[in-house]
Structure 1
Amino acid sequence: MSEIIKNRYEFTVLFDVENGNPNGDPDAGNMPRLDPETGYGIVTDVCLKRKIRNYVETVKEDSTGYRIYIKDGVPLNQSDKDAYISLGIDEKEANKRKEEIDDQIADFMCQNFFDIRTFGAVMTTFVKAKLNCGQIRGPVQLGFAKSIDPIIPQEITITRVAITTEADAKKKETEMGRKHIIPYALYRVDGYVSANLARKTTKFTEDDLALLWEAIINMFEVDHSAARGKMSVRELIVFKHNSELGCCPAHKLFETINVKKCEDIIVPRKYTDYNVTVNSDEIPEGVELIRML
C-alpha cells in the first residue's frame, strides 16, 4: 500500500452531453435536471459518484482493498455483516467494548472499500448484533455540476414495431414512447481532496488518488447508453497545494478558471464552441496547476 496523501487538492471537471439526458429528475418525469429559476442544467454529486464507482468496480473487479460499498444488487447490510464476521465480533462482545469495536469496524470498512475510503459513507444498517458500522466522512467531496449556459430539454417521440401484447397487435402496428434529451450542454463541477481527513479518518493513499483521477477521466467511457447520449470528460484541472491544509481558499483557485462561449457562437453545439482558460497569474505561491486532460 502506498503512502497516505500529504497534499490538499482542489479540482474542476468539465464534461459535456450531446443528444442525451445526463441526469434524469424523477420529480419531473425523468426530464434532465435543471434550476427552474435560471434554466441552468444540473447533475447531482450522487450521479457523478456513481460513474466513478462503476469505473473502479469495472477495472478492479472487487480485488482486495477495492470493493465498492454502494453498488447495484448488493444490500448495504450484507457488506456491513462482512465487517463483524471477518473480525469475529459477536453481540455480547460488541456491547461490552462498543467504542473499541466501532473503531475496528471503521478501519475494516476503509481498508476494504474504495468508495468508503474516498467519499465516506453512512453505514447505519443494523445487523444481528444490533451493531452499525457508523458514519465516515471521506476526504473527497464533489458539488453539483452546473451547465455553463441555460439548457432547453427536448421531449422526443419515438416509435417501435414490437407490440407489447397480442391483443394490442390486432389493433395497431406500432407503439409510441417519449425520450428526453439535451441537444448539447457543457457542465462544470468542482471538487475537493482533504489530506487532513485522509490522515485522520480513511487513510486515502497516493494510489487511491491516482485511481480517482483515472476514474474521473474515464467515468463515462464504461457507462455509455442510448439514454445518456454522447457524454465525455473534456477537462480535469487540478490544483495541488504544497501542504496538508493548503495555501489559500478553494474559491480563489476555482475563480481562475474561465469557461465562455466563443464570440461568434450563439447556440453552442460542440466543445470547441467554448474557450477554456486558466489565469495562472492569479494562482498563489505554493499551489501547482496540473491540467490532466
Structure 2
Amino acid sequence: MSEAIKNRYDFVILFDCENGNPNGDPDAGNLPRVDPETQMGLVTDVCLKRKIRNYIQATKEGEQGYEIYISDKSTLNASDQKALEYLGISDLKELKEVKKKDSKADSKIRDFMCKNFFDIRTFGAVMTTFVKGALNSGQVTGPVQLTFAKSVDPIFPQEIAITRVAVTTEADAETKTNTMGRKAFIPYGLYRAEGFVSANLAQKVTGFSEEDLELLWEAIANMFELDHSASRGKMAVRELIVFKHDSVFGNAPSHKLFDLVKVKKHEDVEFPRSYGDYSVTIDEEALPAGVELQRKDV
C-alpha cells in the first residue's frame, strides 16, 4: 500500500431516482424514506456506503487489500479470524497468552484489518466482536464520512397494487390464478448528499491512500450501475463535486464550501420529472484560497 493522503477533501453527490424506491423505510412499510415535517426524501448514509462496498467487492474481488468487512458473503467473526491467523494464533487459549505477553496485540490486529479491508480503511468499523470478545481492537474512525442524502424538493411517495401470475400453494391454485401485491415508489426525486475526507485520520489511523481515494471517486460515480433492481427504478449519479484543500487540516469550513453549490428547479417546472428540470451552479469566484474545485466525470 502507498502512503496516506496528504490533502483534506469535501464533496457533494447529486443523484436521482425515477419511478423507484431509493431507500425503503422499515418503520413505514418499506415506503420511501421521508422527513414528515418537510416531505423531503431521505436516503441514509448506510445505504450509500452499501452501494460503494458492493461496487468495490464486485470490481476488486480477490485483490489483496480490497476485501470488504461488512459483507453479505461472510460473518464478522470469519473476517476477524483472518487477523488471528496473521498473528499465528489458532485458538482462544493461545490468544489470551499472546495478549498477556504483547501489549500491542490489539493495535496489530487493527493495523492488519485496515491494511486488508477497504471499507475499514475508508469508513472505519467497530471491531469489538473479535472471537466472542476475547480480542478487542476497538473502534476505528474512518477518514471518509457521508451525510444522509436529502431530496432537493419534496417527494410524493406512492403505493400501487400489482398482480403476479403465480400462487404459493396447491390449494390456492384450485381457486385463483394470481396474487396481489403492493409496490412503493416515487415518480422522481433529485437527492443531495455531502461527504468529508480527513487526511489527518488517514495518516494517523487507517492509511487511506491516494489509490484508495481514486477508487472511492470511481465507486461513488458508479455506485448504482451494478446495483439496478426493479424496486429502485432508474437511479443514477448526476454530479460528483469535489473540493480539494491544499493542506491536511483544510483551508475552509466544509459548510461554507457546500453552500457554494446551488441546485434549483427551473421556474417553469411545477413537478420535476427529470434531471433536466434542474440547474446546478457553483460560485467559483467565492472559492476560498487554498481550495481547488474538481467536477468528476460521472
Tell me which interval the TM-score lies in, with the shorter structure as reference length. Answer: over 0.9
Could you tell me which residue of structure 1 aligns to residue 194 of structure 2?
Answer: 190
- Structure 1's consecutive aligned runs of 4 or more residues displaced over 2 angstroms after TM superposition are 89-95
> 1:174-193: CA deviations, max 9, x gaps?
21000000110000000000
Residue 125 (structure 1) aligned to one of 129, 136, 143: 129
The separation in 2 between residues aligned to 1:255 and 1:160, in whole angstroms, is: 47
Residue 205 (structure 1) aligned to one of 200, 206, 209: 209
The separation in 2 between residues aligned to 1:162 and 1:38, in whole angstroms, is: 40
For residues 20-169 of structure 1, what are the structure 2 equivalents within 5 Å? 20-89=20-89, 90-97=94-101, 99-127=103-131, 130-169=134-173
Quote the offset at 1:11 in angstroms.
0.2
Residue 271 (structure 1) aligned to one of 256, 267, 275: 275
The separation in 2 between residues aligned to 1:129 and 1:136, in whole angstroms, is: 16
Contact 1:94 1:129 in 2 (8 A): no
Aligned partner of residue 99 in structure 2, secondary structure: helix
For residues 168-179 of structure 1, what are the structure 2 equivalents within 5 Å? 168-179=172-183
> 1:24-46: CA deviations, max 9, x gaps?
00011000001111100000000
Q: Quick one: structure 1 residues 220 and 96, their matched pair in 2 at CA, closer, same or farther if it must change by over 3 Å?
A: same
Could you tell me which residue of structure 1 aligns to residue 219 of structure 2?
Answer: 215
Identity of aligned residues (%): 66
Q: 5+ residue gaps in structure 2?
A: none
Could you tell me which residue of structure 1 aligns to residue 255 of structure 2?
Answer: 251
Aligned residues: 293
Could you tell me which residue of structure 2 aligns to residue 286 of structure 1?
Answer: 290
The separation in 2 between residues aligned to 1:146 and 1:274, in whole angstroms, is: 15
Q: TM-score scaled by structure 1?
A: 0.98
CA RMSD of aligned residues (A): 1.2
Q: Quick one: structure 1 residues 126 and 117, their matched pair in 2 at CA, closer, same or farther if it must change by over 3 Å?
A: closer
Q: Quick one: structure 1 residues 276 and 101, their matched pair in 2 at CA, closer, same or farther if it must change by over 3 Å?
A: same
Q: Quick one: structure 1 residues 129 and 173, their matched pair in 2 at CA, closer, same or farther if it must change by over 3 Å?
A: closer
Quote the offset at 1:93 in angstroms.
3.0
Matched letter for residue 96 of structure 1: K
